[in-house]
Structure 1
Amino acid sequence: MAVAAGGVHAEQIGSVDTVFKLLGPDHKIVVEAFDDPDVQNITCYISRAKTGGIKGGLGLAEDTSDAAISCQQVGPVSVSDKIKSKKSDGEVVFRKRTSLVFKTLQVVRFYDAKRNTLIYLTYSDKIVDGSPKNAISAVPIMPWGTAEPVR
């Protein structure tokens, strides 16, 4: 299940096995894609660890906090006034449960007005103790088909 903030769904692009498990699915690295729900034509790709084995197969395992993110402009982009005013800085644009109850992988968005760039940060958190592991991706907003930034 890949439901995020605002009902955003991730599409699985592919996966690779990292550890063979005799019983249950293998441990994997999964690659998923999602579109920013508030900025048209920004797509983010996340790679994350997925625990296998019997617990993983039953949805009872806790995935590690290892994840990477890469976001790209895939068409013309228009940034809303809410984002430009930084009122939505740190807003969750994607969330995925990575344990039965307490742990989630999140992606939050920031806007760097000086450089006209969207920044996406991914990290895991738990109700009691989150992880400092994180990854970041920056997307300079460019006119589609040219090399000059849009202001």
Structure 2
Amino acid sequence: MKPYAFACAVLIPLLAVGAAIAEEIGSVSTVFKMVGANDKIVVEAFDDPKVTGVTCYLSRAKTGGIKGSFGVAEDTADASIACRQVGPIHVVESLKDGDVVFKKDTSLLFKTLQVVRFHDRKRDVLVYLVYSDKIIDGSPKNSVSAVAMEKGWKP
């Protein structure tokens, strides 16, 4: 097998796997900074990559100032999530509890904001949890949202 064909065969499937990409909906300034960008609350939307018809809206803190302008500031762990059915729900792949649906670095190193999905089988509901983790000390700050599955769907 030629090297470029091998690379394509290995790398393309890896690119397809992973968390969703967020689209910024808007933002508001929370703290004025004389130099650099203001501190903000950013609202982003992303679609669940394994469940069509579900979109999550995430609000999160974004640090400004000089460090924030250069992308080296550490954002706080403050975040909130609201997930909604926006179309017919269809499960594209099998779901595993704790799957990462969305992930964003919130510091230059070691800190991420993550959204994970769980399936409450008793109530037939998808539960989305947003939280921040860090190698040494994560944060207990979190938010949760739920989307009821349509009747008759099969896991």
Task: Compute the TM-score of the two structures, normalised by the length of structure 2.
Answer: 0.84
Equivalence for 2:6: none
Equivalence for 1:54: 66
Query: Is residue 72 of structure 1 aligned with residue 84 of structure 2?
Result: yes
User: Following superposition of structure 1 onto structure 2, how do residues 128-143 of structure 1 map, counting pairs within 5 Å?
Assistant: 128-142=136-150
Give 1:79 shift.
3.2
Equivalence for 2:124: 116
Query: Is residue 20 of structure 1 aligned with residue 32 of structure 2?
Result: yes
Equivalence for 2:98: 90
Task: Compute the TM-score of the two structures, normalised by the length of structure 1.
Answer: 0.86
Equivalence for 2:43: 31
CA RMSD in angstroms, aligned pairs only: 1.4
Gaps (5+ residues) in structure 2? 1-16
Give identity over the alignment, percent: 64
Q: How many residues align?
A: 137
Judging by fraction of residues, say which structure has more strand: 2
Residue 55 of structure 1: SS of its match in structure 2? helix
Q: Distance in 2 between matches of 1:43 and 1:9?
A: 11
Give 1:9 shift.
1.1
Give runs of ≥4 in structure 1 deviating > 4 Å: none
Residue 92 of structure 1: SS of its match in structure 2? strand
- Out of 102, 110, 113, the residue aligned to residue 105 of structure 1 is 113
Structure showing greater radius of gyration is 2
Q: Distance in 1 between matches of 2:98 and 2:19?
A: 18
